[in-house]
Structure 1
């Protein structure tokens, strides 16, 4: 093989891997939001479609203006990944309902490629009343509506129209057709209508209920389920794997290592307690940890205190009851009342809820009766004895 040809092949593999990594980070890529990533995806579309379908059970849709990676649901033991408000709090049922109503209004036959935000809100209100959905007070309603629009904008489904472009056609020809008089009060949105039908894996109108959407993936091959867990989860505990998946991990470890590197640039680490596929560059990390902010600081200090107090090791899981958890968090909050967010210092129940939720998302804890369990990777945050540091 000539040097120039080898370089071209190497570059092509690198480009395909970069495209796959981009889709894992953001399953919706549009030409408008990320032209470079979208160009890579289009260039490698056939290979990407085959890889995602065969190894992960995902479907990749590539159209002239967007690419959409439609993922299969993860198992019940996988970390929960909710959409979030701008302040970091998770979407609740009402916010998801509002998002669904906004999408339904945008895809409604007759809706154009440009809509008024005010008209859209009125349509959402009308559809909510018709379906018995109560948003609450006006402040809550506006917050949920704004959150839905923000998510759709991040996905590339909508963009705010430039004010100078809003007056078009006959509206812009009259002598008095200027400003808001020409277009109606309030901002307008441009709608990426071709992308809207691909937000969901399959239309919901023919399904008897939410469980039906999950049941379609229950009988997939164990190798595919394992590979999906390694790609998507921060940590896969060995006791969470069924016998077939555990056997595949033991037998095909070297092949899995090669596949993860080739497909996504991930490094597989397998230990007695489980497996972890991590990104050395840190680009595919959902949530960096440790990190800044009250919650991450509280989580790190909590892990340090608990693993030191109870002598947790990589070979064990540690059950922490609510009383112990509250006691440690109360001490931590009291000692840092001037630097932590005041809402967490005042409301320890809220602090406990959000700390546990973050640890579960990171794969460092699992819900357990009357508390939670620290998983094996939490042991890495156990303080190093002073004598060990000096060696």
Structure 2
């Protein structure tokens, strides 16, 4: 492992490079910034070997791009693509994005937005239930969001015009884009030919080897644990099988990830989390600024106070066993059967034998977690709104149900709670955020406008059962 032999004066640079590529997976001359690619090119050889050894990842670095090809151990619905305005992509935007990539791969050096829309519109005619009609504002907005996602990563660069003008009136507005073909080709490089897959789960599993001297099974388990550490905000031991739990408890394995990333691991009885104080491996900073982050923190504090009150114990329930089969089924139903090349297609039984895992689950003790009803969550957010609502963003002051849903979604994304039927299961990591202290800055008489940061919610981590990272993946969009 090169991280152990790099000079201490250069180690910080190496660790920053590792965090950048783990967080973004794709790095171009402008994305995520202009210094990222030169940094990665400096450490390309060492990173390539360390990422393969520790995680089984493959790294390709060229003059214009750096692309990390990760190994997926499970499907994760919590990393959606987002628009430049931070709105989640819907199915239509994902479809336009995929079709735009296909069109750009066949284009020249430049293309206008209307030409690209015409090509994508022609492709949609082959997809049942999908179309792109330039005369519909909703279609134009969704298409511009997909192109904006590509532009943010450098696949296309605006040379002239304005995409917003075309979205408002395609007859009067237009935009001309330069195409960076190297970025276009780097964006979509599946590890296997999609025409050979009958199920999306064919994209899961180990891809690259490493130099681990242990048995193949233990080496694979070790890489899975390391991947979990950098991809999940918190790695709970009860989510792992027995070999993985034993590996997670080893100081050496966690120390290897610390050496590569420069992050600090916090251990508790329930699991391990990497704390990302640098913010370079996190797609979500928590605690953070803004109404949603601060309401989520206040809600976490109220939940922790209730759950930890020994005089009024709350109901406890086991965590449901949900291997994301529903997500697999949803994705598999979108695969056109006529596009699968049957002679080389994988069988559908990609999960392997299930009996052993079922036996292990039956033999192991199933932990239970505090459960809070949805009505209590709604009432608590309403109470917080009544108390501090005049400091919230205007859109949330008038939409308490929406504020509740978004705050809970943020806590779930950070793996502090789990949404179940009728309410929330409270996961151990949330205890770190008990004791939230609110300070409200009042407006001075000399101030003309109200500051958007009047409400400040802070917390002092207590001796909780586990301390979570500020979401240690980044992957923010489209990885």
TM-score category (smaller protein): 0.7 to 0.9
Q: Residue 204 of structure 1 is aligned with which of 156, 175, 194?
A: 194
Alignment check: 8 A CA contact 2:16 2:280 kept: no
Question: Residues 112 and 185 (structure 1 numbering): CA distance in 2 closer, same or farther, change over 3 Å?
Answer: farther
TM-score (norm: length of structure 1):
0.81
Distance 1:8 1:51 in 2: 12
1:103 has 2:101 as partner: yes
Partner of 1:310 in structure 2? 307
1:277 has 2:274 as partner: yes
Partner of 2:46 in structure 1? 47
Partner of 2:328 in structure 1? none
Partner of 2:227 in structure 1? 228
Instruction: Output the aligned Cα RMSD.
Output: 3.0
Partner of 1:63 in structure 2? 62
Q: Residue 285 of structure 2 is aligned with which of 284, 288, 303?
A: 288
Distance 1:197 1:271 in 2: 43
Structure 1 residue 32 displacement after superposition: 4.4
Structure 1 residue 93 displacement after superposition: 1.4
Alignment check: 8 A CA contact 1:316 1:376 kept: no
Alignment check: 8 A CA contact 1:160 1:187 kept: yes
Question: Residues 237 and 135 (structure 1 numbering): CA distance in 2 closer, same or farther, change over 3 Å?
Answer: farther
Partner of 1:332 in structure 2? 384
Distance 2:223 2:125 in 1: 43
Partner of 2:164 in structure 1? none
TM-score (norm: length of structure 2):
0.67
> Can you give the 5+ residue segments of structure 2 that lack an aligned partner in the other structure?
162-171, 208-216, 311-366, 438-459, 461-479
Where do 1:118-137 residues align within 5 Å?
118-132=114-128, 133-134=130-131
Alignment check: 8 A CA contact 1:79 1:362 kept: no
1:298 has 2:295 as partner: yes
Partner of 2:87 in structure 1? 89
Structure 1 residue 162 displacement after superposition: 5.1
Partner of 2:157 in structure 1? 159
> What number of residue pairs does the alignment pair up?
355
Distance 1:262 1:105 in 2: 42
Question: Residues 231 and 307 (structure 1 numbering): CA distance in 2 closer, same or farther, change over 3 Å?
Answer: same
Partner of 2:261 in structure 1? 264
Structure 1 residue 248 displacement after superposition: 0.7
Where do 1:17-32 residues align within 5 Å?
17-32=15-30
1:374 has 2:426 as partner: yes
Question: Residues 118 and 356 (structure 1 numbering): CA distance in 2 closer, same or farther, change over 3 Å?
Answer: same
Question: Residues 316 and 337 (structure 1 numbering): CA distance in 2 closer, same or farther, change over 3 Å?
Answer: same
Structure 1 residue 123 displacement after superposition: 1.4
Q: Which structure exhibits the higher relative contact order, with contacts defined as CA atoms closer than 8 Å and separated by 6 or more residues?
A: 2
Question: Residues 368 and 233 (structure 1 numbering): CA distance in 2 closer, same or farther, change over 3 Å?
Answer: same
Structure 1 residue 144 displacement after superposition: 1.4
Question: Residues 18 and 291 (structure 1 numbering): CA distance in 2 closer, same or farther, change over 3 Å?
Answer: closer
Q: Could you list the per-position Cα deviations for residues 152-182 of structure 1 after superposition, in whole angstroms to 9, with x for gaps in the alignment?
A: 122221111157xxxxxxxxxxxxxxxxxxx
Return the structure number with greater helix share. Answer: 1
Distance 1:56 1:64 in 2: 24
Distance 1:216 1:142 in 2: 39
Question: Residues 381 and 32 (structure 1 numbering): CA distance in 2 closer, same or farther, change over 3 Å?
Answer: closer
Q: Could you list the per-position Cα deviations for residues 207-251 of structure 1 after superposition, in whole angstroms to 9, with x for gaps in the alignment?
A: 22323223567x98111111011112111112111111101112x
Distance 2:254 2:21 in 1: 20
Question: Residues 112 and 319 (structure 1 numbering): CA distance in 2 closer, same or farther, change over 3 Å?
Answer: same
Partner of 2:408 in structure 1? 356
SS in 2 for 1:17: helix
Q: Could you list the per-position Cα deviations for residues 332-355 of structure 1 after superposition, in whole angstroms to 9, with x for gaps in the alignment?
A: 233344333444344444333222
